[in-house]
Amino acid sequence: MTQLENDSFLRACWRKEAEFTPVWFMRQAGRYLESYRRVRAKNDVLTICKTPELAAKVTVAAVDELGVDAAILFADIMLPLDAMGVKLDLVDGTGPVIENPVAAMEDLEKLKGFSPKDHVPYVLDSVGAVKQALDERVPLIGFSGAPFTLASYLIEGSPSRDFAKTKTMMYSQPELWMALMSRLSRIVSSYLLAQVHAGVDAVQLFDSWSGCLSPTDYHEFVLPYNKEILESLSSSRVPRINFGVGTAGILRTMKEAGGDVIGVDWRVPIDEAWRQVGDMAIQGNLDPATLLGHWPLVEARTKEILARIGGRPGHVFNLGHGVLPETSPERAKELVNFVHKATQQRS
């Protein structure tokens, strides 16, 4: 399919036979790795994101240490908002904190325009640096936050449990909601397309918080914008992954947005999720906390997922969300090796 030494991830995304089930992890380069902690000790997260040589270093180190089948660019979903003049801080243990949340049309109008080449050139340079360092060993995944997830941070001002402010705007200020989501969808589309042109081999849309919505609300307030983004990437010829957390109740509606792969968390059996989305590849879905347990538990849960897949082409093994900071790197590497060996034996 490609010039890559290991293209198992791309083959699975296209639902083609692969030598073994590919594995990668969200938050693959993170605080659980010593290689990342060494870099992080001298730099804050935004500095790493904005320094291509550092972003490339931690991205590639995770691949080297874990033996995964894809790299994911070290970046943060808030980078486009930061580039638009949103004053924010990435607080350890909390997440993004916005200084001036969006509450009215005048707040939205204060935001600057966005051009990937002009406003986040460091991301595109990081893509080039990672591709050079990987030297065609494994593919590179680019990503962006989805409009709803970005909007929720802009409106709430920080991570939320109930998204009350976000839903209040959806319900009571529909014109503002539509203006905000339309603008964010254009930004995300241009951002992902720029990453593709810079050389990424796949893209993932992180709609991390859309699981807080009912199917009706997702269909009305989110679906049109995600669909616009994924359709804008349809001619890019790279796999498009649509991922959310807590989305068991909206999977059928998420499928309507398009894309090539649906990413699911651990709250739904993976075979049931696949039945709901039909003719797409699927990614997931081990609970990240499982890796904090003893190996027999990790092995049992992994075997269950693989048994539910039943050898069907089109499965990318992943956690249901990001690697937890307390995770042992050795345990993560052991999981990668186990999935490879378990699925290679059946092929």
E strands within the chain?
Answer: 71-72, 88-91, 95-98, 140-145, 202-207, 240-244, 261-263, 281-286, 315-319
| Euclidean distance between CA atoms 123 and 229, whole angstroms | 19
Residue 241, by phi and psi: left (phi above 0), alpha (psi -120 to 50) or beta?
beta
The alpha-helical segments, DSSP class H, found in the chain are 8-13, 34-40, 45-49, 52-66, 79-83, 105-109, 116-119, 121-134, 147-156, 164-172, 174-198, 215-221, 223-232, 251-255, 270-277, 295-309, 329-344
The answer to whether residue 153 is catalytic is yes
The answer to whether residue 31 is catalytic is yes
- Report yes or no: 256 and 227 within 8 Å, Cβ to Cβ: yes
The answer to whether residue 32 is catalytic is no
Active-site residue among 7, 11, 40, 265? Answer: 40
| Euclidean distance between CA atoms 251 and 272, whole angstroms | 10
Single out the residue of 60, 75, 196 nearest to residue 134, CA to CA.
60
Active-site residue among 32, 36, 122, 153? Answer: 153
Q: Which two tokens stand for residue 7?
A: 């293209």
Active-site residue among 7, 11, 36, 76? Answer: 76
The answer to whether residue 135 is catalytic is no
Active-site residue among 31, 186, 267, 301? Answer: 31
Active-site residue among 27, 32, 82, 207? Answer: 27
The answer to whether residue 240 is catalytic is no
**Contacting residues for 217 by C-beta, under 8 A, at least 6 apart:** 167, 170
Query: In which element (H, E) is residue 80 found?
Result: helix 79-83
**Catalytic residue numbers?**
27, 31, 40, 76, 153
